[in-house]
């Protein structure tokens, strides 16, 4: 089975093509504006500064290592939003890829998310440098931090699933863009991005199991900042969420996505 | 088809009982708001039967001509076979990569000529190294030497069409659908395009050619299909198909 999969991947040019499309997408995003790649680095810093001022200085939050706390929460959240809100119209903007050939549409999604992943890893690298070298209240990282790879894969599949669902719904309902915007704002405030995990748990008990993003952020902080194992129960829940949404997304892509060329 | 020359060849496209009906709603019911407000007032939908049920089999290496008047469903059939549209019934089995060429080719106007060559080449199934090898040929054939790193949104429509045609000629998919492509470029470029067809390019490739030019069809196609009002009236000998088409035009 593995052999077959391996052969298929090396002999066909699929992996090359995904990487090529991802690189071009990344270049389009960051090299087109004046600030260039610098913007990719600047944005999370600006975001963290704003939230830091509001919550630490004004509301005097008592979370230890607060800047790192928001930092990791925000970069995970930003990846999710970029990969979902940013791809609602993907079947429209990337029409040129499937309108003239029988290319698999799923590749278009994966390459766009790969391009977002490049941005994410830049940010993650910045976080690691910040947390280990600058953050005064840092505990340092340890081997448990490697769990972030699993958590990121989880986030990737989750975002891919949501992206598939939204962009396919876009074919029959154009205002899914606006609806999703409202929903993400809602989700943003219902995820423990800038407030304390214990406060979140008290106010909304068990909601960390209801919101897949919350679980990923909580676990990312456990493995990167506290140096402990992820909460396995939460991890399984989130992986299950991601797989279910991805599965629904694939069904929608087959049912609705196949009509994209004629409807959009 | 009882064509003796095709017996030993493999099937490139097998279509069984395919048909296509387009739904056109009169007002745009494509938002959630609209759908909710008009829950009890469903939109009037017009059904346009673009393609009536048909079956066909195309062998590898064949050049098939598609004939028919405007609106007879030629382009719809080509898009169905190329896998761009989904069929309403039946199935289509395609062996290999497909490429559809009509006035525009799959290129993004946000990308440069170089990037478009690489993206299209890759979509057509080539590896990066293989594209590297033919890159200069593509640019030379398209006569775009000075514009390699210019975004194609700044190109004239002729330049875009030439680039698309060059990619198709040099990179080429296993199965090519050519929808009225001889209208590309100036007289000099057209001459070049026709030369490509006269060379061995067409050999070993499966080509489905849509054209209103009887000469082109007669010259290159081993078989031809004649379509009328979404129906496949005849599929077989080129001369018979052409005479049916001329009859229909009278």
Q: Distance between CA atoms of A50 and A73, rounded to whole angstroms?
A: 14
Q: Give the residue from A96, A177, A178, A183 with the most B CB atoms within 10 Å of its CB, the best one to mutate.
A: A96
Question: Which backbone phi and psi does B137 adopt, to 5 degrees?
Answer: -60, -40
Note the pLDDT of residue A2.
Answer: 58
Residue A8, pLDDT score: 58
Nearest to A102 among B32, B97, B127 (CB): B97
Quote ipTM for the complex: 0.84
Beta-carbon contacts of A176 under 8 Å, excluding residues fewer than 6 positions away, are: A88, A166, A169, A170, B32
**What residues contact residue A145 under an 8 Å CB cut-off, 6+ apart?**
A223, A224, A227
Task: Mark residue B127 as left, alpha or beta (left: phi above 0; alpha: psi -120 to 50; beta: remaining).
Answer: beta
Q: Backbone phi, then psi, for B235, in 5-degree steps?
A: -140, 115
The distance from CA A54 to its chain's CA centroid, rounded to whole angstroms, is: 24
Tokens of B89: 């019934």
- A83-113 burial, b at 16+ Cβ within 10 Å, e below that, comes to bbbebbbbbebbbbbbbbbbbebebbbbbbb
In chain B, residues 37-76 whose CB comes closer than 8 Å to chain A: none
**What is the per-residue pLDDT for B1?**
41
- The answer to whether B72 and B229 are in contact (CB under 8 A) is yes
Q: Give the Cα separation of B92 and B18 in Å (integer).
A: 8
The angle formed by the CA atoms of residues A46, A48 and A49, to the nearest 5 degrees, is 65
A161: which residues sit within 8 A by CB, 6+ positions away?
A242, A243, A244, A245, A246, A247, A248, A249
Cβ atoms of B79 and A68 closer than 8 Å? no
- Domain segments of chain B as ranges: 4-39+46-249
> Residues with Cβ < 8 Å from B138, sequence gap 6 or more?
B117, B163, B166, B167, B170, B171
Specify whether the CB–CB gap between B217 and B193 falls below 8 A: no
- Rounded to the nearest angstrom, the gap between the alpha carbon of residue B200 and the centroid of all alpha carbons in its chain is 20
CB nearest B86 (choices: A12, A172, A258): A258
Q: Which residues of chain A have pLDDT under 50?
A: none
Nearest-Å Rg of the Cα atoms of chain A is 19
Contact B78, B227 (CB under 8 A): no
Q: Percent of chain B beyond pLDDT 90? A: 25
What is B4-39+46-249's CATH topology? Rossmann fold (3.40.50)
Q: Is A13 in Cβ contact with B126 (below 8 Å)?
A: yes
pLDDT of residue B4: 43
Residues 6+ apart with CB under 8 A from B148: B112, B113, B114, B139
Q: Which residue of A has its CA nearest to B106?
A: A96
Token pair 């229909």: residue = B248
What is the rounded distance in angstroms from the CA atom of residue A206 to the CA atom of residue B187? 72
Residue ranges of domains in chain A: 20-263
Question: B30 contacts in A (CB within 8 Å)?
Answer: 172-174
Residue to mutate among B86, B103, B127, with most A CBs inside 10 A, is B86
Q: Give the integer Cα–Cα distance in Å for A245 and A212.
A: 11
Ranges of chain B with pLDDT below 50 = 1-7
Contact list in B for residue A173 (CB cut-off 8 A) is 30-32, 35
């Amino acid at each position: 089975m593995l052999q077959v999969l391996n052969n298929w991947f090396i002999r066909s040019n699929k992996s090359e093509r995904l990487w090529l499309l991802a690189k071009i997408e990344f270049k389009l995003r960051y090299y087109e504006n004046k600030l260039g790649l610098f913007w990719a680095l600047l944005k999370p810093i600006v975001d963290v500064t704003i939230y830091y001022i509001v919550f630490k200085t004004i509301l005097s939050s008592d979370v230890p290592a607060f800047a790192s706390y928001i930092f990791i929460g925000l970069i995970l959240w930003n990846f999710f939003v970029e990969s979902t809100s940013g791809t609602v119209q993907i079947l429209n903007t990337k029409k040129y890829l499937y309108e003239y050939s029988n290319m698999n549409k799923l590749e278009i999604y994966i390459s766009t998310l790969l391009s977002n992943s490049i941005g994410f890893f830049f940010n993650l690298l910045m976080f690691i440098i910040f947390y280990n070298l600058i953050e005064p209240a840092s505990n340092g990282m340890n081997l448990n931090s490697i769990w972030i790879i699993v958590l990121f894969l989880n986030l990737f599949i989750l975002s891919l699933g949501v992206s598939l669902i939204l962009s396919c719904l876009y074919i029959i309902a154009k205002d899914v863009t606006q609806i999703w915007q409202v929903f993400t704002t809602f989700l943003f405030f219902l995820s423990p991005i800038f407030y304390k995990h214990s406060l979140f748990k008290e106010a909304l008990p068990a909601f960390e199991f209801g919101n897949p993003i919350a679980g990923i952020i909580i676990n990312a902080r456990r493995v990167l900042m506290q140096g402990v194992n992820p909460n396995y129960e939460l991890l399984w829940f989130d992986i299950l969420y991601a797989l279910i949404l991805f599965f629904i997304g694939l069904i929608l892509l087959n049912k609705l996505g196949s009509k994209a060329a004629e409807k959009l | 088809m009882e064509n003796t020359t095709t017996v030993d060849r493999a099937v490139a496209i097998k279509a069984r009982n395919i048909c296509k009906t387009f739904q056109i709603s009169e007002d745009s019911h494509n938002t959630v708001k609209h759908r909710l407000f008009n829950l009890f007032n469903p939109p009037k939908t017009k059904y346009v039967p673009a393609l009536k049920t048909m079956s066909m089999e195309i062998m590898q290496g064949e050049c098939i001509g598609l004939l028919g008047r405007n609106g007879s469903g030629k382009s719809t059939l080509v898009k169905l076979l190329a896998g761009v549209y989904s069929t309403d019934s039946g199935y289509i089995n395609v062996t290999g990569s497909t490429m559809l060429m009509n006035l525009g080719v799959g290129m993004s106007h946000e990308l440069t000529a170089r990037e478009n060559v690489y993206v299209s080449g890759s979509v057509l199934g080539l590896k990066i190294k293989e594209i590297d090898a033919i890159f200069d040929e593509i640019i030379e054939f398209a006569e775009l030497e000075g514009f390699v790193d210019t975004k194609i949104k700044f190109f004239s429509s002729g330049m875009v069409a030439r680039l698309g045609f060059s990619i198709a000629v040099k990179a080429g998919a296993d199965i090519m659908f050519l929808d009225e492509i001889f209208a590309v470029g100036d007289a000099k470029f057209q001459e070049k395009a026709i030369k490509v067809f006269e060379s061995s390019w067409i050999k070993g490739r499966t080509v489905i050619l849509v054209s209103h030019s009887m000469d082109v069809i007669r010259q290159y196609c081993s078989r031809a299909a004649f379509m009328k009002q979404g129906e496949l009236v005849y599929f077989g000998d080129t001369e018979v198909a052409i005479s049916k088409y001329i009859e229909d035009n009278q």
